[in-house]
Structures are given as structure tokens and as C-alpha cells.
Structure 1
Amino acid sequence: MSEDYRSMWTDLGLDLVAHDALLSVLGQGYQDIYLSQKNRPEGMAYFDFVMSEVHGLRIKELLDEKAAGRKIVGSFCVFVPEELVLAANATLVGLCSGADFATEDVERLLPRNTCALIKSSFGFKLGKVCPYLESADMIVGENTCDGKKKAYESLGGLVNNLYVMDLPQVKSANGKALLKAEYQRFKAALEDLTGVAITKESLKDAIHTVNAKRAAIHRLSALRKADPAPISGLDALLANQVFFYDNPARFTESVNKICDELEKRIAAKQGVFPAKTPRILVSGCPQAVPNWKLPMIVEAAGAVIVGEESCVGERGTRHLTDASGETVEQMLDAIVDRHFQVDCAIFTPNPDRLEHIQQMVADYHADGVIHYGLQFCQPYLMESMPVEKALEDRQIPCLRIETDYSMEDVGQLKTRIEAFVEQLK
């Protein structure tokens, strides 16, 4: 990092020894995986800088915002509407949940066979290594799966101001009414937190800001349809990960700059991989920073990831919010409509997700699909079987993978993925 932020981390209550160890592993992993890539877009230098300052400059920016009276809201899920947070003069940041940490401490509170993502979020808290978590004025949990809703009962005793949002499990009129009621309740909680009333002007501005951020990612995703691929799956995943905690306007500008560069690459038929390289769509669980294991293995095996059907990917960003409303109520309805289209595996039945995966295969000219499931993530593991069957019925090769954040199964995964890539060739 370009500055010494140790006093800032101390003030946040971080365990400096554990935090230094985490940053060392994170930095070495990033160097080995990302900086070793060949022919990267020049615009990725911005994201390299963001990652080098992931616990430094960005945290300082958030603390400066707090000092100026702005509140920080941390969340784990794409169902938390950033539009409402921004309209209440607050900042939304994604919370740490992409690596194992303090596992022994976590397993004193949660069963060992709990979803890796849930255990990770607890580990970052118990290990005192996540400055985003410690700087948040409100932490929003959401009742997506049974594991999360029960885990929040324990997390509530570890953090200040945990707000739990209920979510529908069925896409019905009643389900949509529940989501609207929860967003109305969340709006009131934000106004109480910030002391700022959400107005039609502030909400419209917020919708435009978030739509611009999503539109930039849409543009990046569309360019990945080209052959040869102008950007690696690793780099595209990184942009999708940074989406959750960077300054929105700066992020939007940086992604659009990369897209300008990629358009020139496509026109010149320049790619990061040769033309006709096997093209893979990754579907399933989200891959949060620093969970780069799967794309590292896939692209080292001679394939290119061209899309992610994931919350850290197209599922989380694919829809824009209708900005035509003229009242707070109309715009809130538009936010509900937009988020109700998210085809998360919590919904049952969930035919929209099966159709979405197949459409992505066609749109991105994918040769096969890897369905990525985190161990003990019941919704996505349960859906992996109908996903595989639906794809095989249409003669689309599919590889189901169940893994966690550790590196213990890298050898096994490497063997299976290399065989799958050879099949696609």
C-alpha cells in the first residue's frame, strides 16, 4: 500500500497481526493470479490499484465520509437496494466473505457443515480483519436461505446495528407485496439512521447513478461475446467484484474506459486468448474477493470464461431500474420490480434461472457450463441437478463442481476441469 494505514486500522479495532497476515496472503495471491496474466487490457491498471488499496485508501475514503456526517451501510446481498441507500445520503459497501478465516472460532458458533460464505463472514468479524465491517454504521442481513437467517441470530450479538431484511421465497403477488413492504421498512430505517428524508429528487438521482454503474458492466459483458475474447474471465470477474465497494461514479468511469479499449481490441481482432479457445460460462454461487480459485484453474487449463451467471456477475446486475417515475412511491415500485426479477436460487420454483442460463450460453457463444456450488450452500447445490439436466437435454456440456474457499482440492479440480476442457475441444 502507498501509505501506512496502521493507525486507522487500530482505531477500527482490527487485530493488526492477523490483518497483516491476511493482506500478505491477499497481496501474494493477487500477484500470482492477476499480475502474471499476459496481454491484459491497460485499463485493468485501475483495478490493480484498487486491489492494492482495498483496505487502505478506500477505507480512508469511507472514514472521511463518516467524519463529514455520511453513514456507511454494509451488506452481503444484491437484494439490498443501493438506490435507497444513496438516496438517504449514505454509502453501500459489500462485506468481506470470500476466504476462510478464524475457522476454529467460527465453528464454536456455527456448525462445521455451514455454507462457506456464511462461515467466511463470521470469520472476518471474529478475526477482526475486515475494515469494511468495522466501519459500517448499519449492517444489513437478508433472509435469503435458512443458513443465513439462523446465522444472523448469532451475528447480531457480535456487531452493532444489525438490520435483517425478510425476502420472499416464491415469485407471486404475495411475494412481491412482501418485498415492497420490506423495502418500505428499509427506507424508514435508512431515514432514521441518516436523519435524511428520501425525496423524489434524491431517489431519481440515485437510480440514475446505480443504473449507470450497471450499464457499464452490461457494456463490458456484451464485449465478452467476441471471439477472440478481448478480456480474461479473471479480469472481468475482478470488475464485477469491485462493483460492490468502489465509489460508484469512479467505478462507472473506469469500466467504460476499459470498454473503449476492448472495442479497439475487437476491431483489430486482438484477444487475450486465441480465437476458437473453448468458451465457458460459470453458473451458480457468487465469487467474492478474494475467491479466484475456479477461474484461475479454468483459464490455466486453456479455456476462457466468457460470462458469470452469479450474484457477482450477470444475475446481480442484468436489470436496470425504471427511472421514469415522478414520485417516491412510483420509484419505489420500480426498485421492487427490478429486484423481483433477480433469479436467485432461494425462489421456488425457479424456471427463470434455467432459462437465463440457457440464454447466456447462446448469447456468449459458450461451449459448456461449469456449475459452481459452495459446500453446504443448499439452494444452489439443489438447483445444480436440474440445471445440469436442462443443459444436457439440449446437448450443452455441463460440469458440476462443489468446493469451498480452501486450496486443498485444487489438484482434484484441476484434473476434472482439464478433462472437461479437452471434451469441449
Structure 2
Amino acid sequence: MADYREMWKELNMDLDTHDILCEVLPVAFGDVFLSQENRPESMDYFNMVVAEIHGIRPAELIEFQKKGGKVVGSFCIHVPDEVVLAAGAIATGLCSGSQFWVPGGEKVLPTATCPLIKASLGARFDRTCPFFRIADLFVGETTCDGKKKAWEILAQDAPMYIMDIPQMKREKDFIKWNEEIRDYMKKLEELTGNKITEESLREAIITLNNKRRALQRLNAFRKLENVPISGRDVLLITQIAFYDDLTRFTAQVNRLCDELEERAKNNVSVFEKGSKRILLTGTPLSIPNWKLHQIIETNGGMVVCEEMCTGNRYSECLVDESGKNMDEMIDNLTHRYLGNINCACFTPNTERVDDIIRLVKEYNADGVIDINLKFCNLYDVEGSLVEKALKEANIPVLGIETDYTDSDSEQLKTRIGAFMEMLD
């Protein structure tokens, strides 16, 4: 890993603590990914991104800022990246997926708070995530009560903007979300000093759709009988999608897909014959949260689909590109970012169950594992509804509650192993 200490120092980061993270991450990455056999050669690019995720990309963002550009950090896939790009800014993901950051969050949040939220605030307040030091604006959203209060705390230390997501999907809710997007556009115009035009918004919609098309192409290979790429690698690529340069990332995913096409022609699979096809659903798995995929794919299973924010929800639906003017394009963004994302924050949320059952059929899954991060009440409560509906549809399902630590790994191996045997 290259030495970025001078850059981190300029960002006022806790260098000693961050150095520990830079030592731990490559080891964990090697155990989960480099230990795999017969990985596609094109994964080398994504390996590099992870190895340098706190170096190369932050350096690019800083260089962009030196030229007058603005960087916007967001926490949720409901926040439309198109308007950030249309305003001439760069959207980036933020650190939130490791136990490493949780203790820092617990300094300002109750212990009984979702680890994703605690990790997010810990990464900022402990000064160990460069993306949290770089962003000119942080965009929160109201998908759960924990986040609403966390953003108030974060606002004491960072510039925050909140988008109020409706909790239902009625006509008046779409009108409200349309207004929220318009207000967000005004905020970004103020931040950047750039006017969002019909041309810039149209180009941004196409650019983001191209990234989604590349990820759709990637996920399509997981529908094959002989799956040429592991679920771990696809999860990693999806996680990187939140951070990497848009055009470069899209090109690299398509390059990988070209290689996978050749593998598919030759019926190459990275899994042993008889491995059980598993669909994951539930709370998001932010980088570097690879625990569940690692356990499943080293215990007789293969993850063929993720019905979650770090999965199909992120890329499955495109923004309608037929909008002829600003109003139509904003309408299309509204329907994509509210109507086509079935987060547990909505009520009722029968569309999520419909999505899971549809995806089980499309990916020929043998069973579903429903993952809930501890203290995430939204997904925990909805989990009983999901599991009931799947059982009624004769789809085997296993509900799991976990956090970012490895303390439950052996227990999870036992439970998941028993689930795999039951699928036989």
C-alpha cells in the first residue's frame, strides 16, 4: 500500500488509529477474497481499489477540490446521485461497515443503536475515514429514527443536509419527494455555484444508468447454472460502486463481464457442483462487511443475489431516459428513487416481499437468508412478515441477527450449515 500519511495528516486524521485500519483491512481482504480459487483475472482492478481505497480515491477527490470542485457524501441509495453529477460535483459513499468504527460511535450514541449508524458517526468523530474528512456536504435521510437523531449529532461537527423521505407511496408522497429533489437541486447549485441544466441532468441520468447497466450485466451471470464469479466478488464490486470514479468503474465492470462471457461459454464455475444457491435479503452490507458471504460460500453455498441496498436495489431499476424537459426528468427521478426502492422504512411494504419471491425465481435460489443488523428495528420487525410470506410460498428461509464483530461466526457457521443440509 502506498504511503498517504502526508495526505491523511492534511485531513487532520488520527494517523495512528488509521494506520491500524490500513493494516487490518488488507489481511481481512486476503482471507476473504485472495484465498478464492479460479477468480476472474479482471478482479485485479477491484483488488487494487480496496487496497488503496483510503489513498487513491481520496487523493483524486482532493485534487478535484483544488480545482474548485465540491464533494458530496451520502449514506443512502434513496439520495439521487444524478443531481450531484448534474451540478458538477462528485458523490461518494462514506465509511460505515466495520466494527473498527463502532466504539467511536458509541461515545455519542446509545449502545443499542444499529452498528451501521454507530460506525458512520465513529468514522467521523474519531477522524479515521478520509471520505468523512473530505466531503463538503453530508446528505442524510429519514429512513429510520436512529438516523434522524444521528444526523442531528453529526450536524454539530459537519455540514449536513437532510432529505425527508415519505414513509408511504401514495400520489401525494410522490409529489412530496419531487419537491425534496427540487430542493436538493437548489442546495447543490448553492454549494457548487453551478446551474443544473436540462443538458447536464440528462447527461447525468445516462451516465448513472450506464453504471447500473454494467452492474445488471454482471448480476445476470449469477442466474446461470454454472456461476462464473463468486457472490463475494460481486458484493465487493457493488460496495466499490459507491466510491469509484463513475466512468472508470463502468468500464472496469464491463471489462470483467467480457471475461465472464468467455467463462460462461466454457461453462466455467467458481463453485463446486451441488453448492446451494442462496439469496440474501435484509440490511445493507457496507464495505468491509463480508462476513456472511464468506461463511456461506465456504460452507457449501453460493450467494447468487442480494435483495438489499448493497445489491439489486442499487442497480436493478434505471431512471427513465425519455424525459424531454426538466420537469419530466425530475418526475422520472422521483419515480425511480421512491417508487422502485422497497426499503423497510415504507408502510405497507408488500413490494419487497414480491421482489424477493420474483428474484428467487429469476436466480433459481434454493433458499433465502434474511439478515438483520442488531438493533435495526425496521428490518427486524419486517423480518417476521418476510419470513411468513416466504414460508407460505414454500421458499426455505433462515432469519439471522448479527453485527460487525466476529464473535458469532462459529454460531453462524453452525446455523447456516444446518440450513444448507435442510435444503438437501
TM-score, with structure 1 as normaliser: 0.98
How many residues are matched? Answer: 423
TM-fit CA distance, 1:70: 1.0
The alignment status of 1:392 with 2:399, answered yes or no, reads no
Say if 1:101 and 1:127, in contact at 8 Å, map to a contact too: no
Equivalent of 1:285 in 272, 283, 295: 283
Say if 1:227 and 1:276, in contact at 8 Å, map to a contact too: no
Say if 2:88 and 2:192, in contact at 8 Å, map to a contact too: yes
Measure, in 2, the Cα distance between the counterparts of 1:402 and 1:305. 18
TM-fit CA distance, 1:107: 2.4
Say if 2:105 and 2:120, in contact at 8 Å, map to a contact too: no
TM-fit CA distance, 1:213: 0.1
Q: Which residue of 2 aligns with 1:407?
A: 406
CA 1:102 to 1:368, structure 2 compared with 1: closer, same or farther past 3 Å? Answer: closer
Which digits, 9 at most, give the CA deviation of each residue in 1:325-371, with x for residues without a partner? Answer: 12122111111111112101100000100000000000000000000
Q: Which residue of 2 aligns with 1:71?
A: 70
The alignment status of 1:303 with 2:307, answered yes or no, reads no
Measure, in 2, the Cα distance between the counterparts of 1:37 and 1:106. 33
The alignment status of 1:272 with 2:270, answered yes or no, reads yes
Say if 1:102 and 1:126, in contact at 8 Å, map to a contact too: no
* AA at the equivalent of 1:77: C
* AA at the equivalent of 1:301: N
Say if 2:106 and 2:122, in contact at 8 Å, map to a contact too: no
Measure, in 2, the Cα distance between the counterparts of 1:191 and 1:102. 32
Which digits, 9 at most, give the CA deviation of each residue in 1:281-330, with x for residues without a partner? Answer: 00011001000000000001011000000100001221100111121221
Q: Which residue of 2 aligns with 1:218?
A: 216
Look up the SS of the partner of 2:306 in the other structure: strand
CA 1:102 to 1:56, structure 2 compared with 1: closer, same or farther past 3 Å? Answer: closer
The alignment status of 1:206 with 2:193, answered yes or no, reads no
* AA at the equivalent of 1:154: I
Look up the SS of the partner of 2:398 in the other structure: strand
TM-fit CA distance, 1:4: 1.8
TM-fit CA distance, 1:150: 1.2
Say if 1:237 and 1:313, in contact at 8 Å, map to a contact too: yes
Measure, in 2, the Cα distance between the counterparts of 1:302 and 1:103. 31
Which deviates more, 273-282 or 408-417?
Answer: 273-282
Say if 2:74 and 2:94, in contact at 8 Å, map to a contact too: yes
Measure, in 2, the Cα distance between the counterparts of 1:103 and 1:272. 34
CA 1:103 to 1:318, structure 2 compared with 1: closer, same or farther past 3 Å? Answer: closer
Look up the SS of the partner of 1:224 in the other structure: helix
Which digits, 9 at most, give the CA deviation of each residue in 1:230-282, with x for residues without a partner? Answer: 11010010111011010011111111111111111111111001333210000
Measure, in 2, the Cα distance between the counterparts of 1:343 and 1:241. 19
Q: Which residue of 2 aligns with 1:41?
A: 40
Which digits, 9 at most, give the CA deviation of each residue in 1:5-44, with x for residues without a partner? Answer: 1110000111000000111111110011111111101111
Say if 1:100 and 1:119, in contact at 8 Å, map to a contact too: no
- 1:345-360 to 2 correspondences below 5 Å: 345-360=344-359
Which digits, 9 at most, give the CA deviation of each residue in 1:145-167, with x for residues without a partner? Answer: 111011111111122x1111110
* AA at the equivalent of 2:9: T
The alignment status of 1:239 with 2:237, answered yes or no, reads yes
Which deviates more, 35-44 or 268-277?
Answer: 268-277
Q: Which residue of 1 aligns with 2:187?
A: 189
Q: Which residue of 2 aligns with 1:135?
A: 134
Runs of at least 5 residues in structure 1 that lack an aligned partner in the other structure = none
- 1:20-169 to 2 correspondences below 5 Å: 20-101=19-100, 103-159=102-158, 161-169=159-167
Q: Which residue of 2 aligns with 1:4?
A: 3
TM-fit CA distance, 1:173: 1.0
Equivalent of 1:172 in 164, 170, 173: 170
TM-fit CA distance, 1:103: 4.1
Look up the SS of the partner of 2:223 in the other structure: coil
Equivalent of 1:248 in 246, 249, 269: 246
Q: Root-mean-square deviation (CA), in Å?
A: 1.0
TM-fit CA distance, 1:102: 5.0
Look up the SS of the partner of 1:281 in the other structure: strand
TM-fit CA distance, 1:101: 3.2
TM-fit CA distance, 1:104: 4.2
Which deviates more, 357-366 or 264-273?
Answer: 264-273
State the identity %: 48
